[in-house]
Amino acid sequence: MPTAVAVDKLVKKFGTFTAVNGVSFNVAQGEVFGFLGPNGSGKSTTIRMLCGLLLPTSGTATVAGFDVRREPEKIKANMGYMPQLFSLYQDLTVAENIEFYGGMYAVPRALIVERLSYLSERLELGVVLDRFTGTLSTGWRQRLALATTIIHKPPLLFLDEPTSGVDPITRRLFWEVIDDLANDGATIFVTTHVMDEAEHCTRLAMMHYGDLIVEGAPAQLRQDIVRNMVEVRATPLWNALEALEHAPEVVEAALFGDAMHAEVHEDIADPEATVRIALERAGVQVEQVERVLPTMEDVFVSLARRHEPADRAGRKG
């Protein structure tokens, strides 16, 4: 697969603050590349450099084969970008906004009509076409923003938290559209906070305080990052949680629905037995202890904890 995005030791500093700290990764054509990380970890700054909106402080990046520093305009012709903040004209109707984007990307008029009807149906925008954009709720605004971003069928798509503030049904719709685009061969570069969305991606990269801390396929990450995850059912659950939080073998324990997930130190050979003993010692009635595959959220939390900012306070400005 040819490379759609190639990033090498990319750095962005704002004054003394390092927003992106020497990040390197590649995205192959046709991938759905999930870019994860907490707020302020440098995801949007990276995307903005890739879109030619910000000049990198150092390092190189090529997008669709073009250098972000030297040929940003050629990149722009080959991509779609949906910013994190809503950026459409609120005094235009939904249809007018879509037509405006079609015009900016010089989509032939006949094709705009065709795309408009496709998008109206696929994103269910038909009912709001004549509404002023300013009167739409967040979910509808995000649908419209996605529609304008893909009006010209870009081969490469940057979506910066497309599903933030969006209800689960709309979110599912979004991922259906994203999957459609990927099936048609488009490369998708998407950031998100929602960990179950990360499962939709073919590959993930996680940013943390400007560093890229891990990269891999979702299934692989779930297997590799957190080896000893157990699910615990016990009563009373609160006492169980307290007991595990104080157990030296347990790295992290958190409520998970009506049960509890506990990450046991990876040197422990039999995590189930270790947890059971710790619980029984605390006088908690154990119902079930079972080794499970961690969720993406478990992986995310575990990784974030391992890269605490306190460890790296010296490096940050």
What tokens does 216 get? Answer: 């891999």
Asked if residue 67 binds other proteins (CB under 8 A), the reply is: no
Q: Are residues 289 and 240 in contact, defined by beta-carbon separation less than 8 angstroms?
A: no
Asked if residue 188 binds other proteins (CB under 8 A), the reply is: no
How many residues of this chain bind other proteins (CB under 8 A)?
A: 31
Q: Can you tell me which of 1, 77, 113, 273 binds other proteins, judged by CB under 8 A?
A: 77
Distance CA 204, CA 220 (A): 10
Distance CA 289, CA 227 (A): 15
**52: left (phi > 0), else alpha (psi -120 to 50), else beta?**
left
Asked if residue 59 binds other proteins (CB under 8 A), the reply is: no
Residue 174 C-beta: closest distance to other proteins, Å: 18
Q: Can you tell me which of 31, 99, 197, 298 binds other proteins, judged by CB under 8 A?
A: 99
Residue 266 C-beta: closest distance to other proteins, Å: 43
H/E stretch holding 83: none
Residue 158 C-beta: closest distance to other proteins, Å: 8
Q: Are residues 55 and 226 in contact, defined by beta-carbon separation less than 8 angstroms?
A: no
Distance CA 308, CA 312 (A): 7
Residue 14 C-beta: closest distance to other proteins, Å: 11
Identify which of residues 83 and 271 has a Cβ nearer to other proteins in the complex: 83
Q: Give, in order, the Cα–Cα distances in Å from 101 to each of 43, 75, 122, 167.
A: 25, 17, 18, 25
Asked if residue 81 binds other proteins (CB under 8 A), the reply is: yes
Asked if residue 258 binds other proteins (CB under 8 A), the reply is: no
Q: Using the rule CB under 8 A, give the single segment among 11-19, 80-88, 198-206, 241-249 that binds other proteins.
A: 80-88
Identify which of residues 43 and 48 has a Cβ nearer to other proteins in the complex: 48
Identify which of residues 84 and 202 has a Cβ nearer to other proteins in the complex: 84
Tell me whether residue 58 is exposed, middle or buried, using C-beta atoms within 10 angstroms of its C-beta: 0 to 12, 13 to 18, 19 or more: exposed
Q: Using the rule CB under 8 A, give the single segment among 17-25, 84-92, 173-181, 187-195 that binds other proteins.
A: 84-92
Asked if residue 76 binds other proteins (CB under 8 A), the reply is: yes
Which of helix, strand or coil describes residue 61?
Answer: strand
Q: What is the per-residue binding string for other proteins in 108-147, x denoting contact by CB under 8 A?
A: ----------------------------------------
Order the strands of the 58-63 sheet from edge to edge: 17-28, 3-14, 58-63, 66-67
Identify which of residues 96 and 215 has a Cβ nearer to other proteins in the complex: 96
For residue 236, cis peptide bond before it (omega within 30 degrees of 0)? yes
- Residue numbers at the binding site for other proteins (CB under 8 A): 48, 51-55, 72-73, 76-77, 79, 81, 83, 85-92, 96, 99-106, 148
